[in-house]
Amino acid sequence: MSITDTPPARNAAAPILTGSGAILASLEKLGVTDVFGIPGGAIMPFYDELMSSTAIRHILTRHEQGAGHAAEGYAVASGRVGVCIATSGPGATNLVTAIADAYMDSVPLIAITGQVFSTVMGTDAFQEVDIVGITMPITKHSILVKTPEEVPAAIAEAYQIATTGRPGPVLVDVTKDAQQNSAPFIWPPKTDLPGYRPVTKAHGKQIIAAAELLSTSSRPVLYVGGGVLRAEAQDELARLVDLTGAPVVTTLMARGVFPDSRREHLGMPGMHGSVPAVLALQESDLIVAIGARFDDRVTGRVADFAPHAKIVHIDIDPAEIGKIRQADVPIVGDAKEVLVELLDATTGLGKPDLAEWWTRLDGLRGDYPLGYTEPDDGLLAPQGSSSGSASSPDRRACTSRAWASTRCGRRSSSTTSGRTPGSTRAARARWAIPCPPPWGRRSPSRTAWSGRSTATDASR
């Protein structure tokens, strides 16, 4: 949705709304239909408005962390923005883990928090915390709203920042007086985001350089991260694999974007990755990183990571390029747009001869398949319950995440330490995906495990 293309409406025609009415109207104008949260003193004016909304369904969680993770799961599964709501002070701080997780995992999230009256801010008022300050390093942007006039632009800017470029969380903190006082509701509002211009289209010269490297390499690996999911570039990725025959590894964030059943898929790389995926990267002469960020759980000791590989690094966030590993060919752009251009540039250059490479990789696959030994205490093996007869689904968490990610066909995921609640996110996902999906190993990525791909499918 374009927010800025049309000029602001005339004041004369604008209805007078309270600030809380303006929050609700702004969310409705942006097409938000589902929000998660818990009321409390400083957000009560907004909850009073929310009660009468027929366009927006509110799910009352039992803890704000649940609301935050629920909104994340909703966003990841549906491809839409997730919205969570909390009151000031403890309500707001309870959102922090979910906001941090959304930041790490590039999940489009709008967190709306109530704040104490602007007249008492800074006095250590009842349930006052500086949530804008607290969330500054874990959001793409945090906005403090102290008047009702500022509300529409703040919500519109939050939506625009959260959903464009590299997605992420934005917090909008609205004082209670801003919610209670009234102002003309002007939509679309005039937004002001100086310097915010995400680059989606890549530089043509770099695309050609990447294509040439790819067609002449003898040990390439496509290192696929969550950016491919966010960009919904699964089809373009599959075509690039068809075209080049190059092996693929998918990170935790990208599980499901390329079918595990395809021969070219070596599995997940990193600390608990498959041996073929880990060693393929180590022994490669070219890594094409697509929407991935050379996380320490993937690289291990960076100085020893893939010592002979040239790096093509594709990412929508220029700050990721060269952050961990120097890129020989840096490409800033949207994964889908870049892959479309890379496909064009690669077509006709000739398929690289990877016969020897595949002999090595197939050997690794034969020697080190994913497997496990039965525990000697007579109890179940965890891998047995999560790969059993029926395979499995969505996961999160510590060992359970690691097991699920290595054993299961595909799904979506998250990074913040792993202690994020599967149950809450799964709840959201269920609710955002009305179609009756797949338990068990179905084939291609379009009907895949990842809630995101499934949701994408359903929406098409």
Partner 1 sequence: MVWAIDGDGCFQMTNQELATCTINDIPIKVAIINNSSLGMVRQWQTLFYDGRHSFTDLNTGHDTVRIPDFVKLAEAYGALGIRVTEKEEVDAAIKLALETNDRPVVIDFVVSRDAMVWPMVPQGVGNSSVQYARDHAPAWEEE
In whole angstroms, how close is the CB of 397 to partner 1 at the nearest point? 4
Within 198-257, the residues that bind partner 1 by CB under 8 A are: none
Residue (237 or 361) nearer to partner 1, CB = 361
Within 396-415, the residues that bind partner 1 by CB under 8 A are: 396-404, 406, 408
Q: Could you please report the per-residue DSSP string of 190-249?
A: ----TT-----SPPHHHHHHHHHHHHH-SSEEEEE-HHHHHTT-HHHHHHHHHHH---EE
Residue (179 or 420) nearer to partner 1, CB = 420
Strands 220-224 and 57-60, bridge-based pairing: unpaired
Amino acid at 405: S
Within 256-295, the residues that bind partner 1 by CB under 8 A are: 270-275, 278-279, 281-283
389 interacts with partner 1 by CB under 8 A: yes
Torsion of CA 205, 206, 212, 218, to 10 degrees: 170
In whole angstroms, how close is the CB of 432 to partner 1 at the nearest point? 9
Structure tokens of 143? 């906005």
Residues 92, 89: Cα–Cα separation, whole Å: 5
- In sequence order, the 6+-apart residues with CB closer than 8 A to the CB of 382 are 399, 400, 403
* Alpha carbon 378 to chain centroid, angstroms: 40
Interface with partner 1 by CB under 8 A: which range of 161-169, 171-179, 349-357, 392-400?
Answer: 392-400
Q: How many CB atoms lie within 10 A of CB 351?
A: 13
Within 67-126, the residues that bind partner 1 by CB under 8 A are: 69-70, 77
> Which one of 308, 326, 443, 459 is in contact with partner 1 (CB under 8 A)?
308
> Which one of 59, 121, 209, 458 is in contact with partner 1 (CB under 8 A)?
59
Burial class (CB in 10 A: 0-12, 13-18, 19+), 210: buried
Residue (66 or 152) nearer to partner 1, CB = 66
Binding residues for partner 1, rule CB under 8 A, total: 82
Strands 82-86 and 57-60, bridge-based pairing: unpaired
Within 411-450, the residues that bind partner 1 by CB under 8 A are: 418-427, 429-431, 433, 436-439
Residue (333 or 451) nearer to partner 1, CB = 451
Within 137-156, the residues that bind partner 1 by CB under 8 A are: none
Within 356-375, the residues that bind partner 1 by CB under 8 A are: 360, 364, 367-368, 372-373, 375
